[in-house]
Amino acid sequence: MHPDVDHVALIQAEWRRERPDLDVSPQAVIGRLHRLAARLTVELTLVYQRYGLGEGEFDVLAALRRAGAPYERAPGELAAHTMVTTGAMTKRIDRLERAGLVTRRPAEDDRRARVVGLTEAGLRLIDEAFTAHMRNEHRLLAHLSPEEAAALQTLLTAWQHRLDGTGSAHPTP
């Protein structure tokens, strides 16, 4: 198919033909967001791969970096910040530890608990990778005007808040 073909519009037309009794208008938004999310994932992971990272490893390193010095978090806190199960987090931490990018140590207040921290190599890598990631995100958003990007941010934030039931539908700066 030609790249200018609107796949979602074609799918909707087929459903309208096959199921004229159904309103398929939500596909205009949901279908496009789904396709766009898949495309964005491909575009974003290309940058992570240049640094030898998968999306999950990038997320862990970024969550540690955002914690500020000494760049440490408990595994459960990392799981909450990256929205994965603790089992999945353990596997990510294991891979990053084998690569020399993070360390585990006993927590000072509870010797049974562990704390994960960035190594110097991990800090250097995430700083380089995050710089490239931000360049990539700017490149991807450059397809929108600043006004379009701001409007999209407002709409998506409002929708997310309403779906999550978190109250305020207005984004915070």
Query: pLDDT tens string for the chain (173 positions)?
Result: 566 778 999 999 999 999 999 999 999 999 999 999 999 999 999 999 999 999 999 999 999 999 999 999 998 889 888 878 888 888 999 999 999 999 999 888 777 788 999 999 999 999 999 999 999 999 999 999 999 999 999 999 999 999 999 765 454 54
Q: What are the Cα distances from residue 72, in Å, to 34, 57, 59, 172?
A: 34, 15, 14, 26
Q: Look up residue 63 and give its two tokens.
A: 């969550």
Within the chain, where are the H helices? 7-18, 27-50, 55-66, 75-82, 86-98, 120-141, 146-164
Question: pTM for the complete prediction?
Answer: 0.84
| Distance, CA of 121 to CA of 72 (rounded, Å) | 14
CB 27 within 8 A of CB 33: no
